Structure 1
Amino acid sequence: MITYFNKLITQKKMVVLEEPYVSETLLNYLEKTQMPVLKNDFSVKQFSSHEKLNLIEGKEFLYQYHSMSSPLLYTVSEYALDGVCNALKGENIIKQVTLLKDKYEFRKACEGIYNDFLFKEINYLDLFTFDISKIHLPVVLKPSVGFLSAGVYTIESFEDWKNAINDIENNFKSISDLFPDTVVGDNRFIIESYIKGTEYAIDVYFRDKEPVIINIFEHRFSSTKDVSDRLYLTNKALFDKYLEVFTDYIRGLNSVLNLNNIAVHIEMRADGKTIIPIEINPLRFTGMCLNELFCKFVGEHPLTYFFTRKTPDYNAIWKGRENKTYYFSIIEKPEGVKDPILDIDKLKMQFSNILELRLINNPKLNILAHVFAEIDGNTERELHNITILDIKTLLK
């Protein structure tokens, strides 16, 4: 008879929940599968309403991890990285995490696979005396360690540079203080070439160093100045065009990065045949559980594929959904409004078909809600309207 402990060992799957958010969908999935979940303050809070969670004490969790052959570890957010890195110091998985999380080190590792791409690291204090006239614009300025577009600026002119430096001096420190240093760092910044083209977000895991793509999202913006996370979409046409292209590209990228048995979220831009990665976020798919848009058209949780090491059959998945576009929208708290209250009826009027509305109540997050939605046929008008939506018009 297999003991409970041995059953956990043979699963080779482990999850770390952490601030700032976890969805009911993920909690229900973890209860149903009885996936081992690290017992910490955040997971204990969830246990009060999800008593079937399989919570494992820290020492036992670590013992099980070290007892497994090729364990698969998933964390729900960057908040977990500090604890994971300290607990698993020296493990190969941590070497991968460390390389990916530091944007400058990631750029250095990849510099041999793209030409004429500027990237330069600058200490916080040196930003105020840096001569931007010596840099060919446009560029992007961002923290070397970052999360949710915090502290990201598109610089197209000297005026943009002055405004960015003023905002960093006056506002960014207060934002970064809300997050651990492994989530948003405020001591080092990176200046890099502005990457032209359309931005894509890809959820992928590596099986025997081969990439297996789960999600492909197109990230829509209202303008070149827009660095928000307002809207991401997916559809069959996107997969038909890019599944093979992105798989081949990521395979080549991994010849440098050497990633294995790890789930990651990749952001990249594609302009014709030119593809350049923006960043790779380790140990998770799309953050804030937004990868679960996948559930709406597949009927399974995306983690199922990572933990079973299977490849989605997208020909079958998109059959009958050829004309549908699925997207998620992040409804941010508007600037300058204290304690904003969302008018749900006004919000719902902006979408033709809401599949799920997730209200977010966390003072650490500049977010009011997540919306999962679906559109049939011609989608551009609704998508464009969402990208330019003034959230102040949706408040009570």
Structure 2
Amino acid sequence: MIILDKPFVSNFLENTLIEMQVPVLKNTAIQDMKLNSKINFMEESKFIEMLKKNPAQPLFSNSENSINWINKNLDFMDLSEKINIFKDKVIFREKMQSYFPNFYFKQIKLSDLESLNLEEVPFPFIIKPSIGFFSLGVYVVQTREEWPIIISSIRAEMANNKDVFPIEVVNSTNFIIEEMIEGDEYAVDVYFNEKGKPSILNILKHYFASPEDTSDRLYITSKEIITQNRETFLKTLQQIGEVTLIKNFPMHIEFRVDEKGKVGIIEANPMRFAGLCVTDLAYFAWGTNNYQMFFERNTPNWEQVTVGKEKKTYAMVVGDIPKEIKREDIASIDYEKFASKFTHPLEIRQMDYRKFPLFAIAFVEFDESTKDEMLRILNDDLIDCIILK
């Protein structure tokens, strides 16, 4: 069963649901998004009754916007409690403290940022909404001197995006300050089956333009990334399962791995895979379907799906709007210009820049001859693609 919600449902997900005929909650969001009528939509009362009869069946959502509906309508399950463990970054840190006893974190209200005692905080540190999404309000603080500037930036960004996501997805009231986790950053799409065993569906490496960069501009996957990290991440995921007792539970989780192979957890996002349907990168890279894998309780045969992929890299590139540009000042987007930045674009998804802080998501293939495009796009402000009024 699946709950579809805003902000975005890809054609790939739509077609998967048409093919599989998985029951989909009939809500106002599917009407607003004008989804295909061939999908197996189910009235709310019947959807709830079906879950009451079998609360252990697989339930997935493409968006954390569905959390509010789950909290209001599925109180006969422990799902809301499980979701909150992961959605609230402070609660999740507290749950995992036995495995990471020396990790520093602190909750603070937006209204109290100016009064933070910087003598008590280890530099550098990360600040972000305790309930957040899409790197909104996420900043790296390197020095005491830049703290007042970052506070102003956080307030401006929260104000600029206050109507984009519901409070269950992004809550600008409470923030978490935590120590900087060193190492390379990875994002993992995973589900825990009916026995609580984790199955990894894809691993993405997150690239940054600089130590201060916190954007979601570039994620890549490759055979090497899968092979080098899968077993290591499975061990940490098993620890998470032991602490939280989750079952039949999809998740998008982010890690950092340092030079010694030590794993640190950045955050875990419940009930979904990579947001805005960018989990679809697995199809472009490996020919696998993460939605189908979840509902059918399958795991990729990594030895098989990575055959012939040794010298290829597959990427998800976000065409994000610079923070200094207000969305209402944009007249249009030059999508052809954006696509021309890649030699092997696989798909360019146009996003509604009037609603979201991005205008496109690109799936791209790179090889040895085009890897320099990755560095260029990482440092490109994309201003040449944005036509202002």
Q: Distance in 2 between matches of 1:136 and 1:149?
A: 21
Unmatched tracts of structure 1, length 5 or more: 1-13
Q: How far did residue 252 of structure 1 move?
A: 2.2
- Matched to 2:330, the amino acid is D
CA contact (8 A) 1:78 1:183 kept: yes
Does 1:309 pair with 2:297?
Answer: yes
Q: Distance in 2 between matches of 1:222 and 1:383?
A: 10
CA contact (8 A) 2:318 2:360 kept: yes
Secondary structure class of the residue paired with 1:91:
coil
Q: Distance in 2 between matches of 1:362 and 1:80?
A: 22
Partner of 2:354: 363
Q: Distance in 2 between matches of 1:229 and 1:118?
A: 24
1:41 pairs, out of 15, 20, 28, with 28
- Matched to 1:373, the amino acid is V
CA contact (8 A) 2:288 2:300 kept: no
Q: How far did residue 79 of structure 1 move?
A: 0.9
Does 1:215 pair with 2:206?
Answer: no
2:78 pairs, out of 85, 88, 92, with 92
Taking structure 1 as the reference length, the TM-score comes to 0.93
CA contact (8 A) 2:106 2:177 kept: yes
CA contact (8 A) 2:343 2:370 kept: no
For 1:189-228, list aligned pairs within 5 A. 189-207=175-193, 208-228=195-215
- Matched to 2:361, the amino acid is H
For 1:102-117, list aligned pairs within 5 A. 102-117=88-103
Q: Distance in 2 between matches of 1:40 and 1:69?
A: 20
Q: Deviations over 1:326-382 (max 9, x none)?
A: 011010123325115222232122112000010002522101000000012255422
Q: How far did residue 248 of structure 1 move?
A: 1.7
Q: Distance in 2 between matches of 1:31 and 1:45?
A: 18
Taking structure 2 as the reference length, the TM-score comes to 0.94
Partner of 1:277: 265
CA contact (8 A) 1:35 1:54 kept: yes
- Matched to 2:256, the amino acid is R
CA contact (8 A) 1:133 1:158 kept: no
1:384 pairs, out of 352, 372, 375, with 375
Partner of 2:233: 246
Partner of 1:10: none
Partner of 2:161: 175
CA contact (8 A) 1:15 1:36 kept: yes
Q: Distance in 1 between matches of 2:135 and 2:31?
A: 29
Does 1:16 pair with 2:3?
Answer: yes
Q: Distance in 2 between matches of 1:96 and 1:380?
A: 40
Q: Distance in 2 between matches of 1:49 and 1:154?
A: 39
Cα distance change of structure 1 residues 17 and 362 upon mapping to structure 2, 3 Å threshold: farther
Q: Deviations over 1:57-106 (max 9, x none)?
A: 11111001111251111111111111112211251222210111000000
Secondary structure class of the residue paired with 1:117:
coil
Does 1:71 pair with 2:57?
Answer: yes
Higher mean C-alpha displacement, 34-43 vs 329-338? 329-338
Q: Distance in 2 between matches of 1:388 and 1:365?
A: 21
Secondary structure class of the residue paired with 2:172:
coil
Q: Distance in 1 between matches of 2:76 and 2:357?
A: 35
Q: Deviations over 1:212-262 (max 9, x none)?
A: 000100000001110000000000011111111111221123222222110
CA contact (8 A) 1:325 1:379 kept: no
Partner of 2:286: 298
CA contact (8 A) 1:153 1:164 kept: yes
Partner of 1:394: 385
Partner of 1:52: 38
Q: Distance in 2 between matches of 1:163 and 1:251?
A: 40
Secondary structure class of the residue paired with 1:365:
coil
Partner of 2:248: 261
Unmatched tracts of structure 2, length 5 or more: none
Aligned sequence identity (%): 33
Does 1:324 pair with 2:312?
Answer: yes
CA contact (8 A) 1:20 1:362 kept: no
Secondary structure class of the residue paired with 1:190:
strand
Secondary structure class of the residue paired with 1:285:
coil
Deviation beyond 4 Å, 4+ runs, structure 1? none
Q: Distance in 2 between matches of 1:346 and 1:58?
A: 43
- Matched to 1:117, the amino acid is F
After superposition, the CA RMSD in angstroms is: 1.5
- Matched to 1:347, the amino acid is F
Q: How many residues align?
A: 382
- Matched to 2:17, the amino acid is L
Q: Distance in 1 between matches of 2:220 and 2:294?
A: 21
Partner of 1:147: 133
